[in-house]
Structure 1
Amino acid sequence: MVERRQFSGCMQGKNLRFLEANNTAPVQQTRVGFLLLEHFSLPAFTQVLDTIVTANLLRPKLFCSRTFGLGNGEILSDLGLVIRPDAQIGPEALKDLDLLLICGGYRTELKADEQLISLLKLASKTDVCLAGLWNGAWFLGAAGLLDGYRCAIHPEHRPALAEISKATQVTSEPFLLDRDRLTASSPSGSYHMALEWIKGLHGKALVEGIEDILSFEESRYRRTKASPNVSVSAPLREVIKLMDTNLEEPLEMEQLAVYSGRSRRQVERLFREQLGTTPQRYYLELRITEARRLLQHSEMSQVEVLVACGFVSPSHFSKCYSSFFGYRPSKEKRLSR
């Protein structure tokens, strides 16, 4: 029986959906509500929604979501698509939420009536985290709920927020998480805001898994990366690039050191301090992860895959694959067919 191996943290996210597919451990579900305002930014809304839906693909039932309107009618998005919310927002709805996102847009009117102001204040008092997308932060500011906070808002609406909420630090950042306030100024900012929020709840590996899924559709056959090792130093990034471009004929440690202009001890220290693993282990995990991708998304045979990923024999490849994924490479699902 092959002993199971665990991916190190830096590669765990890319393989999360394969390693934890049968995980039935109970989870604490986070309840998310979207308050859709007239002419709200549909891309900003869907960026957040897609992110939490993808998180549920990796770890089922982590999140549940509902959409709300200020009334009972349909709401027109900025793209002209009509959305019918699940329910009208009210005090009772707040009892079932952990996060409420105010979804604004470029043409969303900066006007908050007393009912909305009271509702947002009640949400704050009941420990519901509050978020604003596009110009959603303006409504939080109008309710006095951004005093002492840093926030992000679309550039068009920064002066308006600064005027109505003078105790708020209005920034030019694309997104910000400041304690129990989350704000984003654009669809891209909304996506990264959601990722950062999820990382705080469930860790970096889950976020890396989400990024891997949402960036992969660019090509089924060419390797793509969401944000390749943005958290590592330039010297370590150079070593990882060398590994990444030399999978078929893996470089020896001495070669990695020489080509990167570092000593072997320096390279090992970079991996240990920044990724919590060894260069050899990272290299193996990189190759076995690429092998899984090729088996799933290409027409290459098992032998062609093992050669492309630098394994010396079918038996060695099968043993490594089984140790990480719990089954032989011949059992891998061929998604390309």
Structure 2
Amino acid sequence: MVKQTIEEKKTGPKRFGFLLLPNFSLIAFSSAIEPLRMANWVTGDECYETLLISHDGEAVASSFGVQTLVDCSLNDMPTLDALFVCGASPVARTGNEAVIGWLRKQRHANIALGGIGTGSYLLACAGLLNNYRATIHWWDIASLKEDFPNTQVTNNLFEIDGNRYTCSGGTAAMDMMLFLIGKEHGMDLAASISEQFVYERMRTSEEQQRIPLKARIGASQPKLIEAVTLMEMNIEEPLSTDDLAHHVGVSRRHLERLFKKHLQTVPSKYYLDLRLEQARQLLRQSDKTILQVGLACGFSSASYFSTAYRNHYGITPREERKRDVESNPDSEPVMLGRSSYVAS
């Protein structure tokens, strides 16, 4: 039976349940649940109540073998505002038929449903992500797209689409929870929680997972991987295509063929995209001036940087920073020490 402290909820704090599946990712689960606890601590109020759930009410082992006690089984679960499925790592394609069947019955329930990491796959199996935007860990993106064509699969860190909340797992679970907390209680609280965890910045749902190049093209192209690694290590002082070819031990023409065949671009364009991506992150995250950002990303002048940025993103660096501030009017770019604590 469910304990008295978690009886049916009518009013009070938001109640979030976490359905732990065998071999669930411990880091993703912790990243999701800890911001809720910290929200209560920072405010001195009970903003959230958390409930741990397993299929049968028994303890569940994480992927690292840590046994986690739960509060109840699915059959004894009280009313929740949201239920998050914490999936196995890697995704378990069998053994969760009963859970999927139970989830399928929640199609019309008045509850938000979330997937943390590979939990998104189970939601999709239950038909709960049809015609929704959703994401999953990069390792399983191709499978989710192939197996569930009616789901709009993205490469984003997390997706909030109506009452469907999905994230890619790992620390992205914290970004998703900070977003939900900010939406409910304001970004000052979310920023204070971020600071408590020494979490340098809160990433947005628009930011994409970084899929390792080896995962995209396989390990059979070591020269290409080496060239991209050199690019990533030399953002502030870019290497020429000839220098890259020399360092990896191939001709310039051969290197260009590798980029064209496997990445559908030329080395100089790929390199420029990397530098502009780094610049966009700095514009959103740091207090550096636009000129300092440009120089840090290998652009010799502010005008050159502004032109390249506008050609790539459709807006200038100044407009990018202005838009970021306007979208988050309560704070400047979220860095440690930026926001004040919410008074308890």
Pick the aligned partner of 1:79 from 56, 64, 69: 64
- 2-side partners of 1:67 and 1:76: how far apart? 13
Larger RCO (CA under 8 A, 6+ residues apart): 1
Pick the aligned partner of 1:61 from 35, 38, 46: 46
- 2-side partners of 1:207 and 1:183: how far apart? 19
- The runs of 5 or more residues in structure 1 that have no matched partner are 1-26, 217-224, 243-265, 294-323, 326-337
**1:276 shift after superposition:** 6.2
Q: The residue matched to 1:110 in structure 2 has which SS?
A: coil
- 2-side partners of 1:207 and 1:63: how far apart? 13
In the other structure, the counterpart of 2:168 is 185
Structure 1 residue 102 corresponds to structure 2 residue 85? yes
Sequence identity (%): 25
Give matches, 1:109-120, under 5 Å.
109-111=92-94, 115-120=98-103
Give matches, 1:168-317, under 5 Å.
168-215=151-198, 225-226=200-201, 237-238=287-288, 274=326
- 2-side partners of 1:187 and 1:39: how far apart? 14
**1:194 shift after superposition:** 0.8
Structure 1 residue 165 corresponds to structure 2 residue 148? yes
**1:28 shift after superposition:** 4.2
Q: The residue matched to 2:93 in structure 1 has which SS?
A: coil
Runs of 4+ in structure 1 deviating by more than 4 angstroms, as ranges, are 230-234, 273-277
User: Residue type of the partner of 1:46?
Assistant: S
- The runs of 5 or more residues in structure 2 that have no matched partner are 1-10, 204-279, 293-317
**Structure 1 residues 194-240: Cα deviation after superposition (integer angstroms, max 9, x where no partner):** 11111111111111111111117xxxxxxxx5459x99967x93479
Task: Give the direction of change, closer, same or farther, for the CA distance of 1:177–1:62 in structure 2 (3 Å limit).
Answer: same
Contact 1:151/1:170 (<8 A) preserved: yes
User: Residue type of the partner of 1:166?
Assistant: P
In the other structure, the counterpart of 1:49 is 33
Contact 1:39/1:108 (<8 A) preserved: no
Q: The residue matched to 1:106 in structure 2 has which SS?
A: coil
Contact 2:178/2:202 (<8 A) preserved: no
- 2-side partners of 1:188 and 1:113: how far apart? 25
User: Residue type of the partner of 1:49?
Assistant: I
- 2-side partners of 1:78 and 1:69: how far apart? 15
- 2-side partners of 1:227 and 1:131: how far apart? 19
Contact 1:112/1:142 (<8 A) preserved: no
- 1-side partners of 2:281 and 2:110: how far apart? 32
- Range with bigger deviation, 117-126 or 40-49: 117-126
User: Residue type of the partner of 1:58?
Assistant: V
Contact 1:103/1:132 (<8 A) preserved: yes
- 2-side partners of 1:135 and 1:86: how far apart? 22
Aligned residue pairs: how many? 223
Q: The residue matched to 1:68 in structure 2 has which SS?
A: strand
In the other structure, the counterpart of 1:152 is 135
Task: Give the direction of change, closer, same or farther, for the CA distance of 1:276–1:175 in structure 2 (3 Å limit).
Answer: closer
TM-score normalized with structure 1 length: 0.57
User: Residue type of the partner of 2:39?
Assistant: A
Contact 2:91/2:121 (<8 A) preserved: no
Q: The residue matched to 2:123 in structure 1 has which SS?
A: helix
User: Residue type of the partner of 1:72?
Assistant: G
Q: The residue matched to 1:187 in structure 2 has which SS?
A: coil
User: Residue type of the partner of 1:198?
Assistant: I
**1:149 shift after superposition:** 1.0
- 2-side partners of 1:69 and 1:47: how far apart? 19
**1:166 shift after superposition:** 1.3
Contact 1:151/1:168 (<8 A) preserved: yes
Q: The residue matched to 1:186 in structure 2 has which SS?
A: coil
Task: Give the direction of change, closer, same or farther, for the CA distance of 1:209–1:166 in structure 2 (3 Å limit).
Answer: same
Pick the aligned partner of 1:70 from 45, 51, 55: 55
**1:131 shift after superposition:** 0.7
Task: Give the direction of change, closer, same or farther, for the CA distance of 1:82–1:227 in structure 2 (3 Å limit).
Answer: closer
In the other structure, the counterpart of 1:38 is 22
Contact 2:145/2:151 (<8 A) preserved: yes
- 2-side partners of 1:72 and 1:50: how far apart? 22
In the other structure, the counterpart of 1:20 is none
Q: The residue matched to 2:15 in structure 1 has which SS?
A: strand
- 2-side partners of 1:149 and 1:233: how far apart? 31
